[in-house]
Amino acid sequence: MTEQLRLMAVHAHPDDESSKGAATMAKYVSEGVDVLVATCTGGERGSILNPKLQGDPYIEENIHEVRAKEMDEAREILGVRQEWLGFVDSGLPEGDPLPPLPEGCFALQDVEAAAEPLVRLIRSFKPQVITTYDENGGYPHPDHIMTHKITMVAFEAAGDPEKYPEAGEPWQPLKLYYNQGFNRARTVALHEALLARGLDSPYGEWLERWKDSGRPERTLTTYVPCSDFFEIRDKALIAHRTQIDPDGGWFRVPMDVQKEVWPTEEYELAKSLVDTSLPENDLFAGIRNN
């Protein structure tokens, strides 16, 4: 395929692009692929998760601007382009019963209407491949679930001239993937590798909760080798200072262990309009050289 390869990653909040598929994106950037992150919300209702920054009045009062600057830094590190879809963070409701979602937030938008800016972006960027979350959002944050919903609508509608006629010339993406980097097989492999080396594992309680949750296993179809870009991934993640504690659990697995034991990022092929054979090692399998 002589045409420029283009990958779009649709995410809910700034920082999601750095915790899900970041090494994959950096790998493709290094190969000359044009990569665009579509960020649905500004993360305005995200908690300050880095204990070193909690209680900072400037950050608390200007969280939207702070997170936008963090996104700019992460974007530069990854080498990607990035666009905001302009929706307002829904927050993560907590309590029993759960409180209602805030009026006007992303998760309360009409799905068909909320898909329009994504359709517009797909038609202008023209990606062959799109990545996003599965129907559970990867985890059940209302914005992640809504991101899944609008991406599914937009993937189908972008190539249909009858849909969203004001949103640009039709363009049909060829493949849609769900991020599945937080899968049980990877977690077990890293957990066991750490214990075998006499090291503490951050995954013990996580695996117990997983076992008790009854959560079904997802089908992993695509394993992208990208261990050479794990350091870039971590650097981008740390750029989201309000969300990530650099001394926290994200970084407790030594880099050499990660690269040796699990050197890939995983995806679930949800839709394909091209022929491909599974398992894959390339999101553009069936597209390159066609």
Non-local CB neighbours of 194 within 8 Å, separated by 6+ positions: 200, 201, 203, 253, 257
pLDDT digits (tens, 9 = 90+) for 133-179: 999 988 889 999 999 999 999 999 999 999 999 999 999 999 999 99
The more confident residue out of 202 and 11 is: 11
Read off the pLDDT band of 290 (50, 70, 90). Answer: low
- pTM of this prediction? 0.95
pLDDT digits (tens, 9 = 90+) for 18-55: 999 999 999 999 999 999 999 999 999 988 989 999 99
pLDDT (0 to 100) of residue 216: 78
Whole-angstrom distance, CA of residue 75 vs CA of residue 64:
16
Beta strands in the chain (DSSP E): 6-11, 34-41, 81-87, 129-132, 175-179, 222-225, 264-272
Contact indicator for 146, 107 with CB cutoff of 8 Å: yes
Query: Per mean pLDDT, which range of 9-13, 72-76, 98-102, 258-262 is the poorest?
Result: 98-102
Whole-angstrom distance, CA of residue 216 vs CA of residue 258:
25
Contact indicator for 5, 36 with CB cutoff of 8 Å: no
Kindly state the percentage of the chain with pLDDT values over 70: 99
Rounded (5°) CA angle 268-163-12: 40
pLDDT digits (tens, 9 = 90+) for 247-278: 887 788 999 999 999 999 999 999 999 999 99
Non-local CB neighbours of 220 within 8 Å, separated by 6+ positions: 180, 183, 185, 266, 267, 268, 279
Instruction: Report CA-CA distances (Å) from 37 to 79, 115, 240.
Output: 11, 16, 15
Residue 71 Cα to chain centre, angstroms:
13
Q: Which of 171, 131, 110 is nearest to 10 (CA)?
A: 131
pLDDT (0 to 100) of residue 62: 94
Asked if pLDDT for residue 205 goes beyond 90, the answer is no
Averaged pLDDT for residues 177-183: 95
